[in-house]
Amino acid sequence: MKTFLISFISFLFLTGFQKSLIAQIKSSDSILTNQAKINKQKGEPFEGIDMSWQNGSDRRTSNIWEGIKYFTPSILVDVNYTYSFNNPNDNTVVGSTALSRNNEVQLSALHFGGDFYYKGARARFMTQFGTRSIVVPRNDYSPYRGQYQLANVYRYLSEAYAGYHINALHGINIDAGLFMSYIGLNSFYQAENWEYQASFTSDNTPWFFNGLRVQIFPSKTLKIEPWIINGWQSYGKFNSMPGFGGNITWMPNSDIKLLTNNYFGTDAAGIPARKRFPSDNSFLLRYFNNPKSTGIQKSAFSLTVDFGFEKGGGVNGFSDGDSIQGPAQYFCISYVLSPHLVCTKQMRLDRVVVP
């Protein structure tokens, strides 16, 4: 598929929008600070660490709504225009969730909602309108198992969860509902990514999961996040067993980020004996940072190594088996995304991925 992104406009309004729970905690900074003094929380997660340059992170360094108590509103509008050299006769662009129509201006996404916080109670919801409300849910096949049309139930929501914050260590969050999942370093929200169009493999995987997660911050530089979920990036279960996984993120300073996402489950529909394990591991380095420069102000790169396998139900992991065990089924991928350059506060020079 030869699709070239001519231009895109991504507007971020009402700067309460945040990609992660870490940013959500900071948006209620005054409330948490007061409670930390009472409940002996040691500090805030990633306090003082600049994450605005990172792929998949919020670009803003300030929040005009942080003084509002209880609810921080958020709106994201994403509009794009694309042109495909394949010249599809009906203007349909296939193989992408960021793009949908050729040679047309389209509303890719309209998200609005926000974050609620009252004492320990917490919640977040974001709607999902535009072409992504169609192209994203269609990649999940779990709704075909059973009734109630889960794809229609959830298609107009990108996030919807509720939970509780515990003032211990540097914070503990327990949440249940619909979350954004992890695709390498990328965020579901295009405005937060270095590139607008993700790789073909990443982009054609759903970006969500349903279940329970616990975020534990032992220190201000470390997050440990276990999950119990219906399946890897699915609304429902493919079989009877739930999925198990987790994320570990370490940021020792403002220039380095290390993370790993791992999962174990049975996501081959109708084949409960087949177990799946993917591992997604990334390293980010900001090797140049000079905000006062009149030219290039920042430069960074990322390295990602993914591997995984399936075993049982007719396949045999990393080695070929007999006629019953089946052939090997595994993968190993490594790629570098570089450079990411910021020339001024108004202009970014990013790599655009062309599928």
The residue-averaged pLDDT of 82-110 equals 89
Those residues whose C-beta lies under 8 Å from the C-beta of residue 323, and which sit 6 or more positions away, are: none
Q: Give the pLDDT confidence of 299-319 residue by residue, as tens digits.
A: 998 888 888 999 999 998 888
112: left (phi over 0), alpha (psi -120 to 50) or beta: beta
Task: Centre a 10 Å sphere on the Cβ of residue 197 and count the other Cβ atoms it contains.
Answer: 24
Q: At 197, phi and psi to the nearest 5? A: -100, 115
CA 125 to chain centre: 15
Specify burial of residue 241 (Cβ count, 10 A radius: 0-12, 13-18, 19+). Answer: middle
Could you please report the per-residue DSSP string of 39-61?
HT----TTTT---TTSTTS---S
Whether 16 has a pLDDT exceeding 80, the answer reads no
Which of these ranges, 12-16, 30-34, 181-185, 271-275, has the smallest mean pLDDT?
12-16
Q: Give the pLDDT confidence of 212-234 residue by residue, as tens digits.
A: 999 999 999 999 999 999 987 78
Whether 26 has a pLDDT exceeding 60, the answer reads no
Query: What pLDDT is stored for residue 229 in this prediction?
Result: 92
Query: What pLDDT is stored for residue 339 in this prediction?
Result: 58
* Cα–Cα distances in angstroms (integers) from residue 163 to residues 33, 35, 208, 230, 255, in the given order: 19, 17, 17, 18, 31
Question: Tokens 């509008």, residue?
Answer: 77
- State which of 2-6, 28-32, 213-217, 279-283 shows the largest mean pLDDT: 213-217
Query: What pLDDT is stored for residue 163 in this prediction?
Result: 97
Q: At 134, phi and psi to the nearest 5? A: -105, -50
Q: Any idea where the domains of the chain sit in the sequence?
A: 3-349
Q: Give the pLDDT confidence of 120-161 residue by residue, as tens digits.
A: 999 999 999 999 999 888 888 888 888 888 989 999 999 999
Greater model confidence, 346 or 112 = 112
Strands 3-13 and 71-84: antiparallel
User: Residue 283: pLDDT band by 50, 70, 90 thresholds?
Assistant: very high
The residue-averaged pLDDT of 226-253 equals 91
Q: Output the CA angle 75-76-79, nearest 5 degrees.
A: 145
Residue-averaged pLDDT of the chain = 82
* Cα–Cα distances in angstroms (integers) from residue 254 to residues 49, 141, 286, in the given order: 5, 39, 8
Q: Output the CA angle 44-50-55, nearest 5 degrees.
A: 115
Task: Centre a 10 Å sphere on the Cβ of residue 196 and count the other Cβ atoms it contains.
Answer: 20
Query: Can you tell me the distance from the alpha carbon of 301 to that of 315, in angstroms, rounded to the nearest whole number?
Result: 36
* Omega before 339 within 30 of 0, i.e. cis: yes
Whether 1 has a pLDDT exceeding 60, the answer reads no
Here the contacts of 286-289 (C-beta below 8 Å, separation 24 or greater) are 286/53, 286/254, 286/255, 286/256, 287/255, 289/53, 289/254, 289/255
User: Residue 2: pLDDT band by 50, 70, 90 thresholds?
Assistant: very low
The residue-averaged pLDDT of 16-39 equals 44
3-class SS at 144? helix
Query: What pLDDT is stored for residue 205 in this prediction?
Result: 64
The residue-averaged pLDDT of 261-269 equals 89
Q: Output the CA angle 175-48-22, nearest 5 degrees.
A: 15
Query: Can you tell me the distance from the alpha carbon of 242 to that of 222, in angstroms, rounded to the nearest whole number?
Result: 26
User: Residue 340: pLDDT band by 50, 70, 90 thresholds?
Assistant: low
Structure tokens, 320: 């070929």
The residue-averaged pLDDT of 172-186 equals 86
The residue-averaged pLDDT of 80-94 equals 88
User: Residue 85: pLDDT band by 50, 70, 90 thresholds?
Assistant: confident
Bridge partners of residue 3, in order along the sequence: 84
Tell me which DSSP letter residue 142 carries: G
pTM for this one? Answer: 0.81
Could you please report the per-residue DSSP string of 178-247?
EEE--BTTB-SSGGGSSSSSPPHHHHTS--EEEEEEEEEEEETTEEEEEEEESSTT-SS-SSSSPEEEEE
Greater model confidence, 95 or 189 = 189
Strands 104-118 and 243-253: unpaired
Identity (one letter) of the amino acid at 314? G
User: Residue 62: pLDDT band by 50, 70, 90 thresholds?
Assistant: confident
Whether 184 has a pLDDT exceeding 70, the answer reads no
